[in-house]
Amino acid sequence: MIKSAQRLLSSEYLILILCALYFTAMAPFVDGFASMGNLGNIFIYMLPLLVVATGQTIVLITAGIDLSVTSIIALASVTGAMVINGETGALAGSALATPVGILIMLAVGAAIGLLNGLLITQFRMPPFIVTLTTMMFFSGFAIWLTKSKSIYGFPSSFLIFGKNIWLAGAVTLIVALVGHFLLTRTLLGRWLYAVGHNPKAALISGVPVNRVLVLTYVVCGLCAGVAAVLISGRLETGSPVHWRNNLLDIIGATVIGGTSLYGGRGKVLWTFFGVLFLTLIDNSLNLLNLSHFTIMMVKGGVILAAALLDSVRNRMGGRT
């Protein structure tokens, strides 16, 4: 019995099984939950969350954390919007607007990621403090830059990245596959897990720990930049407060999936399961017409349970 419980808790498909059970249990009671329209809503809502959670997964594997991802999304969104919007943008009406806008958003993400990585490695500051302060700084900067206004008027060729379910899905799939490939098929991936398990041992073994960490935060920032493209396209707006309240969802989905807060364990596939589970809960409780505050309490409880499970697995000497 105990061995069965241990096997269940250690299974990498535990969250997927929970998703299936939850969906089956709720579908008969929640109007519209299993309808094609709602499944489409669930899918498209998941996509930017999965993209940014993929980057967060890579950071958590190294026993770090990136709290600045929501500010990266906001700043990337408004920076791109300022350049390519149809009213005041420098590239208004240009055929280059969309590719340049996307590049700008990715560049902002990578640049902030690089800053995070350098501050953590060169000054040996804890990732929590560094990314908390960059979150505050760049959030304020985005609001100052736009005087807290949203920017409308993206070119239609940009909007399809957020609105076309297949294109957004393809972008997300590419990010997830690249993340998966990086973690499972490259030397860098092995280094990431090594640093997460024991950075001192990794350093002695010849792993360039600082370079690995800097790259980790750059990748996380890039993922946030991609998410900014999807979100800005979906909401048709560059906004300095995009996803301001979603940090817990991002980290929570990653932890629910099974990536460890202690480092050394995590997979993109698990993060997909975690994102799916959190989105199913959010969507079903919304359809049940529960108040936003009740939904927050339930999600908080689920994330807490996931963190507890992570702690248990850590003690049980869970898998990598």
E strand or H helix that includes residue 39: helix 36-61
Q: Please give the sequence-ordered ranges of beta strands (E in DSSP) within 46-86, or none if there are none.
A: none
Q: Does 150 bind another protein (CB under 8 A)?
A: yes
Report the distance separating Cα 280 and Cα 43, nearest Å. Answer: 10
User: Pick from 85, 144, 134, 132: which is nearest to 108 by CA?
Assistant: 134
Does 152 help bind another protein (rule: CB under 8 A)? yes
**How is residue 201 written in tokens?**
């041992």
Q: DSSP assignment, residue 91?
A: T
**Per CB under 8 A, 26 contacts another protein:** yes
- Is residue 18 involved in binding another protein (CB under 8 A)? yes
30 binds another protein (CB under 8 A): yes
Cβ atoms within 10 Å of 144's Cβ, excluding its own: 10
Least separation in angstroms between residue 233's CB and another protein is 10
Check: CB of residue 85 under 8 Å from CB of residue 237: no
Q: Which stretch binds another protein (CB under 8 A): 93-101, 108-116, 199-207, 240-248?
A: 240-248
Question: Residue 151: enclosing H or E segment and its boundaries?
Answer: strand 151-152
Residue 118's contacts (CB-CB under 8 Å, 6 or more residues apart) are 214
How many residues touch another protein under the rule CB under 8 A: the total is 58
Q: How far is the CB of 18 from another protein (least distance, A)?
A: 7
By CB under 8 A, name the one of 182, 188, 248, 298 that touches another protein: 298
Select the residue interacting with another protein from 78, 217, 285, 318 (CB under 8 A). Answer: 285
**Judged by CB, which is closer to another protein: 161, or 243?**
243
Distance CA 316, CA 132 (A): 31
Rounded CA separation 117/214 (Å): 4
Minimum CB distance to another protein, residue 187 (Å): 35
Give yes or no for residue 31 binding another protein (CB under 8 A): yes
32 scored as a contact of another protein (CB under 8 A): yes
Q: Does the protein bind another protein through residue 5 (CB under 8 A)?
A: yes
Q: Note whether 20 binds another protein by CB under 8 A.
A: no
d(CA 262, CA 311): 9
For binding to another protein (CB under 8 A), which residues are involved? Answer: 5, 8-9, 18, 22, 25-26, 29-32, 35, 37-38, 41, 45, 143, 147-152, 163, 231, 234-237, 239, 241-246, 281-294, 298, 301-302, 304-305, 308-309, 312
